[in-house]
């Protein structure tokens, strides 16, 4: 091999390094690590959102389905204290405008209960009436997003729409007469026995649906009020009332 000239050796020493070789500048290294952390955080956040808004719905739907089947099995076997079975559920809420199918209703509005993809009736701060009571306000709560999101489409419910509650023996048919798109989460007057904020002034047989708003937050509450217009006895075939056909 021919000896290299002094000029050639000097050229090699002054030549720039190949890309990717050598040490990176400390600032560049920090920026790179920070960028990777942001990407990882973004992936984790995306997974959390998917879990909160999709997978919790899947789990809640399964659980609500099992609990609902239990109630109907008890009814078919003639079990349960008449119209009510407060241990497993008192019946099913049907709101066609929400397009949410039937919703099992149980006692209580605690998070553990509502997370099972059902609706609960209030026991506090104002005790709910029950549909069979001669007077009072049947007050319900359910999630608007995640965990079944049973009241997700509550904003589609308008004045004149039907709300139907199904028990073992009776269909209770209510008609929506007022809505309140936003109010404080601390406003308990909306679930009072006579909900005067809805425009009524005397005792009657009312139903109130409550949930969080805006969607994906719990800052305020969305309210829908209805009043009982009639009842129908459940026949042997459990024929649905006209509002649900």
CA–CA dist 157, 96 (Å, integer): 9
CA–CA dist 243, 229 (Å, integer): 12
CA–CA dist 56, 89 (Å, integer): 21
Nearest partner of 117 among 101, 104, 126, judged by Cα: 104
14 sits in which H/E element: helix 6-14
Burial zone of 131 (CB within 10 Å; 0-12 exposed, 13-18 middle, 19+ buried): buried
- Give the pair of three-digit tokens for residue 164: 């139907």
Give Cα separations from 137 to 41, 99, 114, 151, 198 (angstroms).
46, 24, 20, 19, 12
> Phi and psi (nearest 5°) for 174?
-110, 155
Distance of CA 23 to the CA centre of its chain: 53
- Bridge pairing between strands 170-184 and 119-121: unpaired
CA–CA dist 207, 198 (Å, integer): 11
91 sits in which H/E element: strand 91-94
Catalytic residue, candidates 212, 222, 223, 226? 212
SS3 17: coil
Is 109 annotated as catalytic?
Answer: no
Among all residues, which ones are annotated catalytic?
Answer: 212
């Amino acid at each position: 091999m021919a000896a290299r000239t002094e000029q050639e050796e000097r050229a090699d020493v002054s030549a720039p390094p190949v890309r990717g070789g050598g040490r990176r500048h400390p600032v560049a290294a920090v920026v790179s690590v920070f960028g990777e952390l942001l990407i990882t955080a973004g992936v984790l956040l995306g997974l959390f959102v998917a879990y909160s808004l999709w997978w919790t719905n899947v789990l809640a739907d399964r659980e609500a389905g099992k609990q609902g089947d239990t109630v109907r099995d008890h009814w078919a076997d003639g079990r349960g204290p008449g119209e009510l079975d407060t241990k497993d559920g008192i019946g099913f809420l049907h709101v066609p405008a929400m397009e949410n199918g039937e919703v099992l209703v149980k006692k209580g509005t605690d998070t553990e209960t509502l997370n099972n993809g059902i609706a609960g009736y209030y026991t506090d701060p104002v005790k709910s009436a029950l549909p069979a009571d001669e007077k009072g306000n049947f007050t319900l709560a359910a999630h608007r997003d995640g965990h079944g999101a049973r009241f997700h489409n509550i904003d589609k419910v308008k004045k004149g729409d039907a709300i139907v509650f199904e028990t073992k023996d009776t269909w209770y048919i209510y008609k929506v007469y007022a809505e309140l798109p936003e109010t404080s989460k601390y406003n308990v007057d909306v679930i009072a026995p006579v909900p005067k904020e809805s425009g009524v002034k005397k005792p009657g047989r009312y139903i109130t649906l409550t949930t969080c708003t805006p969607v994906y937050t719990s800052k305020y509450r969305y309210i829908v009020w209805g009043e009982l217009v009639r009842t129908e006895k459940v026949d042997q075939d459990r024929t649905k009332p006209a509002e649900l056909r």
